[in-house]
């Protein structure tokens, strides 16, 4: 299972890297043990849980530059926004260094800073990211568009962010697609009309949610399926397609995360995408 993680020896966010696109598109996690997001002494003062507004899950820097979910004001808030903004720039450089051909098709999402300790979060099984899953969001259908994520561990106390990484997407799909509830087009329209979903939930979105929920609700699968535990140390960075790489976060505190979206057809091998794999397995277009 350790082959699901590819170690990359790079210390530079913008140094071009060859040969990693097929690994990324195979749903592997690219792990950069020495790629550090450097903080100034003033920024290090922002590594505390109470910078987050208790009503928000994360702090996020929106695309319009507005900071959401922070409990700090004034100069401290500006410093926090600048720190998250610098991570956004470096994360984008890293993706350009790995996959320059993606650039014209990438769509940036907000950048998040997660100062909360993972172990102490109380959540429903469906929201519990300590269970292995592939990312799929109930209110945000994406019609097969990819979820590419860059993570970096900022922990100042030497604590790793520990993940479990699970089996390949094709294996997940072969296991859970046969158990999936059928897609019902009129129900998707009702969810849209009621604003439960921001756009129409396609059959692709339905199947991805079925995989997400099927994995998280199956405790036997959680414990016995092929998986590897991976502690990402402070000062390290990792990248994966989180809609494809099965993952669970077991512990850690203080992380940055950048999401980028990419149409499946803009990847090097569209057939390797979850949309491509699910189309092949079901024999249906899905979107
Ligand atoms: C997730 O996407 O499941 C959470 C990852 C993390 O917080 O480390
Ligand atoms: Fe996730």
Q: Mean pLDDT over all residues of the chain?
A: 97
Ligand 1 close to Cβ of residue 129 (< 6 A) = yes
Any ligand 1 atom below 6 A from CB of 128: no
pLDDT over 90 (residue 182): yes
39 CB burial (10 A radius; 0-12, 13-18, 19+): middle
Rounded distance between C-alpha atoms, residue 101 and residue 268, angstroms: 8
**Residue 205 CA, ligand 1 centroid: distance in Å:** 20
The candidate with the shortest Cα–Cα distance to 10, out of 29, 44, 43, 36, is: 36
Question: Residue 146: CB within 6 Å of ligand 1?
Answer: no
For the stretch 22-74, pLDDT in tens is 999 999 999 999 999 999 999 999 999 999 999 998 999 999 999 999 999 99
Closest residue to atom 7 of ligand 1, CA basis = 249
Q: Is the pLDDT of residue 2 over 90?
A: no
- The answer, yes or no, to whether residue 230 has pLDDT greater than 90, is yes
Residue 135 CA, closest ligand 1 atom number = 2
CATH number of 2-135+144-174+230-264: 2.60.120
Confidence of residue 122 (pLDDT cuts 50, 70, 90): confident
User: Could you read off the pLDDT of 128-137 as tens digits, one per residue?
Assistant: 999 999 999 9
Tokens standing for residue 202? 């396609």
Given this model, what pLDDT does residue 190 score? Answer: 97
Q: Which ligand has the nearest atom to the CA of 151?
A: 1
Site to probe by mutation for ligand 1, drawn from 249, 250, 252, 256 as the one with most ligand atoms within 8 Å of Cβ, is: 249
CA-to-CA dists, residue 178 to 37, 46, 100, 207, angstroms: 42, 47, 37, 10
State the virtual CA torsion across 122, 43, 156, 253 in degrees, nearest 10: 10
Centre of ligand 2 from the C-alpha of residue 134, in Å: 6
Q: Whose CA is nearest to atom 5 of ligand 1?
A: 249
Q: Is the CB of 208 under 6 A from ligand 1?
A: no
Q: Is the CB of 153 under 6 A from ligand 1?
A: no
User: Rg of the chain over CA atoms, in angstroms?
Assistant: 19
Sequence ranges of the domains in the chain = 2-135+144-174+230-264
Pocket test for ligand 1, best of 257, 258, 259 (most atoms within 8 A of CB): 257
- 274 CA to middle of ligand 2, Å? 15
Atom of ligand 1 nearest to the CA of 252: 8
pLDDT of residue 22: 98
Contacts (Cβ under 8 Å, ≥6 apart) of 268: 21, 22, 25, 99, 101
State if residue 29 touches ligand 1 by the CB under 6 angstroms criterion: no
Atom 8 in ligand 1: residue holding the nearest Cα? 249
Residue located nearest, by CA, to atom 1 of ligand 1: 129
Q: What is the pLDDT of residue 124?
A: 93
121 pLDDT exceeds 90?
A: no
| 263-275 pLDDT, tens digit each | 999 999 999 999 9
Residue 229: count other Cβ atoms within 10 Å of its Cβ: 11
Atom of ligand 1 nearest to the CA of 114: 7
* Sole residue written with tokens 């950069």: 32
Q: What is the DSSP letter of 181?
A: P
Q: Is 34 left (phi over 0), alpha (psi -120 to 50) or beta?
A: alpha
Residue-wise pLDDT tens digits, 9-22: 999 999 999 999 99
């Amino acid at each position: 299972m350790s082959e699901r993680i590819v170690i990359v020896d790079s210390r530079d966010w913008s140094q071009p890297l060859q040969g990693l696109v097929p690994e990324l598109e195979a749903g592997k996690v690219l792990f950069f043990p020495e790629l550090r997001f450097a903080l100034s002494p003033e920024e290090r003062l922002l590594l505390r849980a109470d910078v987050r507004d208790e009503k928000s899950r994360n702090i996020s820097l929106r695309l319009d530059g507005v900071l959401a979910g922070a409990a700090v004001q004034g100069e401290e808030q500006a410093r926090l926004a600048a720190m998250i903004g610098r991570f956004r720039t470096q994360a984008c450089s890293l993706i350009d260094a790995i996959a320059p051909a993606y650039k014209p098709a990438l769509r940036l999402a907000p950048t998040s800073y997660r100062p909360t300790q993972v172990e102490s979060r109380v959540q429903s099984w469906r929201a519990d990211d300590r269970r292995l899953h592939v990312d799929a969001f109930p209110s945000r259908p994406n019609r097969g568009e990819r979820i590419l994520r860059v993570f970096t561990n900022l922990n100042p106390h030497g604590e790793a962010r520990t993940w479990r990484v699970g089996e390949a997407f094709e294996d997940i799909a072969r296991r859970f697609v046969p158990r999936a509830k059928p897609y019902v087009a009129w129900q998707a329209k009702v969810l849209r009309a009621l604003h439960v979903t921001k756009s129409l939930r396609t059959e692709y979105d339905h199947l991805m949610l079925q995989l997400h929920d099927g994995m998280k609700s199956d405790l036997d699968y959680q414990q016995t399926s092929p998986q590897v535990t991976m502690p990402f140390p402070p000062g390290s960075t990792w990248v994966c397609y989180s809609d494809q790489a099965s993952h669970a976060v077991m512990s850690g505190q203080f992380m940055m995360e950048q999401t980028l979206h990419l149409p499946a057809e803009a990847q090097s091998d569209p057939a390797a995408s979850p949309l491509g794999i699910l189309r092949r397995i079901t024999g249906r277009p899905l979107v």
